Amino acid sequence: MKKFLTLILLLVSFLTTYAQQSNTVEMADAFRSSGKIYVVIATIVIIFIGLAIYLFSIDRRLKKIEKEK
């Protein structure tokens, strides 16, 4: 029964995405044409790298504190 409900849910979600119209995103086209999309991507990558470094440093500190106890 659980597999059947999961299958129905997946089919319904597929149908709703299939029913959407394929409108082009004007802002993305403008960024791509002017070359600013690379600035946006670079900013997102820098933010994710910063978050990863922050999380790894917190993990190291927590491991150090756990070893002391």
Taking CA atoms, 62 is separated from 22, 56, 59, in Å, by 48, 10, 5
Task: Measure the CA–CA gap between 14 and 17, rounded to whole angstroms.
Answer: 5
Question: pLDDT tens, 26-63?
Answer: 777 787 888 888 898 999 999 999 999 999 999 999 99
Q: Are 66 and 58 in contact (CB under 8 A)?
A: no
Collapsing DSSP to helix, strand or coil, 5 comes out as helix
The pLDDT score that the predictor gives to residue 44 is 96
Flag whether pLDDT at 15 surpasses 70: no
Residue 51's pLDDT is what? 97
Question: pTM higher than 0.85 for the full model?
Answer: no
Residue 66 has pLDDT above 90, yes or no: yes
Checking if the pLDDT of 22 tops 90, the result is no
